[in-house]
A and B are shown apart, each in its own frame.
Chain A
Amino acid sequence: MIYKITTIILFLAAICSGQTAAPDSFQALDSLQRAIDMGLSSLKMNRGDLTFRGDYLEEDPYRLPIVNAYMKEPLKIIDYADSTLSFERLVDFKIKGLLGNKSSEVKRAQNSKIIEKDSRLFERADTLLGRDISSLLKGLLYLARGVDPDNWPGFSGYSRFQRDSLMEGFTLLLEENVEDEFKTVDQLDSIAQYEDRWAERLVKLAENSRGRGKIVDEFISLLDSSLARPPSVPSSAYNLTLPTDYGDIVIGDTSSNKYEGDFFIIIDPGGDDTYDLRFPGVGHQIYIIDLSGNDSYSFPKDRISPLFFGGSMIVDFEGDDLYAGGSYSLGAGLFGVSVLWDKAGNDRYYGDTFTQGAGCFGVGILRDDAGNDTYQAALFAHGFGFVDGVGILWDHAGNDTYIAGGRYKDILRYKDHYISLSQGFAYGIRPKMSGGIGLLIDKAGNDAYISDIFGQGSSYWYGLGVLSDSAGNDQYLSFQYAQGAATHMSVGILFDATGDDVYSAKGVSQGCGHDRAAGLLVDLEGNDSYNAYDLSQAAGSANGLGFLADIRGADAYVVRSDQNTQGFGQPRRDYGSIGIFIDLGGRDGYAGGVGRDSTWWSDSKWGIGIDQ
C-alpha cells in the first residue's frame, strides 16, 4: 500500500514538475510578451499598430511571402529566431517553404535515356566501389541532373545571350571595386546609372529563375541519408576514375592527395589533402566527400563564378581544415545550390564576396558541427540572403570568430569604414528587387562577431536577416546598421539566448528600425553590456520600429547621446517612429542616456523604456 502511494506521489510529482519546468526561453519570452503589451499601452498603442506593409511601393516579383508576413507582424520574428536554436537537422529550416509558394516548383525532366545511361555508368565498377559508394555516387549523379540548368524548366526559355546577361548582371550587382574611392563623381554616377539599367533589365529576365533554390531539398535528402555517417570506401575503389558528362568522378586513397583542376565528384577516404579546383566555363558542379585529414581547399578566382547556375557539395568528416574560397564559394548558391558541411575540427574559412552561406536565386549553406572555427570574408557573407535566395551559416559548437569587412570602403558614408553586409544579413536592390533571407545560427561557444557597416542580424529592402546565438559569452562588434538593425522596409533581429554578452556599435544599431523597418535585439539571459553612441538601443527612425529587450541579468547600458537612444521615437512623414526598450530583471546600470534601473520612462512621445 505504502509502495503504491509513494508511486502515485512520485508520478504526480513528475507530472507537476513536467508542467512547471517549461523551457527557460519559453518562460522568458512569455514574460516579454506581457512587457510588450505594457509598453504598447504606455504608447497608447496595441499590437495591431506595430505593422509594416508590403505595398509602400508596387510589389516586385521577388518578394518572399515570409518577409511580408514578418513585416506585417514584426514581433513574431522573435519566436522564429528562438526556434532556429532548437533546429537539429537542415530539414528543420524548411528552406523550400522560406522561398515561398509563388516561386515555380521544381520539376525534373524525366528522360529515360539519361536514367538508363546513369545506371550503366556504374555497372562495371559496382563491385569495385562497394555498396556505400555506389549508392552515394548514384545519389550525387541524380542530384547533378536536378541542378543541371538544362533540366530546369525555368531555364528552357533562356537563350545563350540571356543566360550570359543573368551572369553578367548579377555579378555586376554583387561585386564591389576597391578602386571606387579614387573615381571621379562623374565616373561614379556613370557606374550607378549603368548598374541601374542592368537592374531594370534583370527584373524581367530573372523571373523564370524564381524558386531555383528549391532543389535544396534534394541536397538535404542525400545529406540525411547517404551522408549521415561516413560512407565505407573499399580499398578496391582507391584511385578509380570514372568519366561522366559532368566531368570525372575520382576516388582517392588514404595518402595525402592533391586534386588540381577540374572534377565532378571526389571521394577521398583519408590523408591531408589539397583541393586546388579550377573549372572552365560556367554551370559547373563539384561534389567532394572527404572522410578524414587536415585538408586544404581552394576555389577558382574568376570574375564570373564557374558555379553560376551550378551546384556544389562538400562534406568533410574530420580534421582541421582550411577553406580559401575567394568569391561565390563555400556554401554560395548562385542560381543554384551549394552546401558545405564540415563535421569536425577547428576550421578556417576565408573568402571575399558572396561566400560562407550565401544565396541568390538559390540556396547557400555552410554548416560546421564542431571545433573552434574562424570565418572571414569581405562582403555578403556568413548567412547572406540576396534576391530570391536563402543563405545560412550554421555553427553547432565551439568558440568561433566571425569577421566581415575590411576590403571595400563604404564610400557613401565614411572614408575610414568598410561595408560588410554579412552575418545574418538580407539585401535587395532598391526599389526593383526584394531581398532574401540571411540566417546565421550559432548554437554554442564563446563567439566573437565582427562587422563594420551593415551586419549581425540586420536587413535592407524587403529582406529578412537573423542572427541567433544560443549559448556562450559572446562579443558583438560593429560600427553602423548592425546588431538588430533594419533599414528600408525590412526586418532584422539579433537574438542571443544565454551568456554574458557584450554589444558595441556606433549607431543605427542594437534594435534600430529605419524607414518603415523593424530592427530587434533580444537577449534572454546573462549579465550583458551594451555600448553605443547614438540612434541605438531601441531607436525608431523614419517611421521604423526599434526594439531592444533584455529579459534577465544585471546589465549595463552605455550611450553617448540621450536624445535618440533607449526607447526613442519621433514623428516623421506624417506619423511616428517607435522605440520600445524593455529590461525585465536584475540590477542594471545606465550611463549617458535616459534609462534608469527599476524605472519607466517615455521622454519622447513615440518611445518607451521599461526597466523592472
Chain B
Amino acid sequence: MKYFTMIFLTLLVSTAAAQTGADSINIAVDSLFVRASSINVYYADLVQPSKEALGRMGASAVPRLVEKMRTQDAREMQALEDVFKLIGPPAVPQLVDVLGSENVYRRRLAVRILGELKDSSSVEGLLKYIDDDDFRMRAGVISALGKVGHKRAIPKMREALRDQDYLVRTSAAVALSNFKDSSNVIPLIKALSDKYYGVRYSAALALSNIGKPAVRLIVDALKLPGDTLAYYQLIEIAGNLADPRFLEPLVKIVNSDDPYARAFAAKALGKLGSEAAMKALQDRYEIETHPLVISKIEAVVLN
C-alpha cells in the first residue's frame, strides 16, 4: 500500500511540476491536501506522505495553502500547521499578510502557525496585533512571540500579565518562560497571585526557568507570600531552583501546620537533595500523618 501511495504522490507532484501555471499547482495542492488532512482510518497511511509532498513543493504551494486557511475544521487547521512547518521560512511573508485578514479563523490560524515556525522575520508583523481587540488574537500573538523568542517583545509580554482576559495573561506568563530575564521576576511573582491557575502555573514555570537571578527575590517572597496558592507555588519554585539558600525556609515549612505546604516542601527538599535536606525529610517522615505528605516523602526516597 505504501509503495503505491508513494508512486501516486510522486506522479501527482511531478505532473504538476511539469505543467506551468498556477492551475496545475493548485490541482496538485488540492489533491495532496485532501489526503494530508484525511481523518479516515482507512487512509491514514496517506496523511504523512502527502504532508511531506506538500512540504517539498515549498513556496509554490503557499498561495493555495493560504487560501485554505479559511477552514474552520480543526483537522484541516492541524494539517495546514504541519505542512507550513515543513515549508518553513518561505511561507512567513504570506502568513504575516494573513494576520490582517478580516476572517477571524484565518488570522488566528496564521498566528498559531507563525508561532510554530519560530522565524524572527515575523516579529514585526506580529507586534502590530499585540493589542488586538480580539482576546484570542492577543493571546495567540503573545504566545507566538514567546515561541519566536525575540527580546523586543518582552515589555509587551510583561504588560500582558495584567491583561483583562485570563487566557491572554496565561499566554504572557508562558511566553516569558522562554526568557532568562531577571527584570521579569517581580511581575512574575505578582502573577503567582492571579485568579486563574493557568497564569499561576505558567508564572511559576517562568520563574523556575529564570534560574539563579530569581533566587533572592523568591526567598524574600517566601517570607511574605501574597496568598496561600502563591505560597504553594513559591515552595515549588524553590525546589525547582534547588538553591541551598532555600534549605532553611523549606525545613521550616516542612514542619509547619499546613499539610499541603508540607507536601510541596517535602518535594522541594527532595530536589535540593543535600544531606541536610534529606535529614529534614527523614525527621518529618517519623512523625508525619498526612497521606499526601507521606506520599511525597516516599516518592523522594524512592527516586
Contact = CB atoms under 8 A, between A and B. Distances in A.
Contact of B292 (A42, A181, A430, A432): A42
Interface hub of A44, A46, A188, A411 (most chain B Cβ within 10 A): A44
A181 B42 contact: yes
A188 B38 CA distance: 9
Main secondary structure of the interface of A (DSSP, over half): loop
Interface residues of A, number: 38
A189 interface: yes
B107 to A, nearest CB: 13
Nearest to A43: B197
Contacts of B236: 44
A185 interface: yes
Given A41-B260, A44-B197, A575-B197, A185 B46 contact: yes
A576 B40 contact: no
A415 B42 contact: yes
Nearest to B292: A600
B38 A576 contact: no
Interface in A575-597: 575-576
Contacts of A196: 73
B263 A42 contact: yes
Given A58-B104, A575-B197, A185 B39 contact: no
Contact of A574 (B40, B46, B195, B198): B198
Size bin of chain B's contact surface: 35 or more
A598 B291 CA distance: 8
Interface string B195-224: 111101110000000000000000000000
Contact of B40 (A57, A411, A601): A411
A431 interface: yes
Contact of A185 (B43, B197, B200, B290): B43
A603 B197 CA distance: 18
Contacts of A575: 170, 174, 197-198, 201-202
A431 B41 contact: no
B229 A46 contact: yes
Interface string A26-60: 00000000000000011111101100000011100
B291 A44 contact: no
A430 B74 contact: yes
A412 interface: yes
Contacts of B136: 56-57
A373 B73 CA distance: 40
B233 interface: yes
Contact of A49 (B42, B72, B196, B232): B196
A602 B260 CA distance: 12
A161 interface: no
Nearest to A44: B232
A413 interface: yes
Interface string B251-293: 0000000001001100000000000000000000000001110
Interface string B12-50: 000000000000000000010011001111110010000
A181 B41 CA distance: 9
A414 interface: yes
8 nearest CB pairs, A to B: A575-B198, A49-B197, A600-B292, A44-B232, A600-B291, A574-B174, A189-B34, A185-B43
Given A44-B233, A185-B42, 4 more contacts: A44-B197, A412-B39, A431-B72, A575-B170
Interface of B: 31, 34-35, 38-43, 46, 72-74, 104, 136, 143, 170-171, 174, 195-198, 200-202, 229, 232-233, 236, 260, 263-264, 290-292, 295, 299
Interface of A: 41-46, 48-49, 56-58, 181, 185-186, 188-189, 196, 410-415, 430-432, 571, 574-576, 598-603, 610, 612
23 contacts: A42-B260, A42-B292, A44-B197, A44-B201, A44-B229, A44-B236, A44-B260, A45-B229, A57-B136, A58-B104, A181-B42, A185-B43, A186-B34, A411-B40, A412-B40, A430-B74, A431-B72, A576-B201, A598-B291, A600-B290, A600-B291, A600-B292, A601-B295
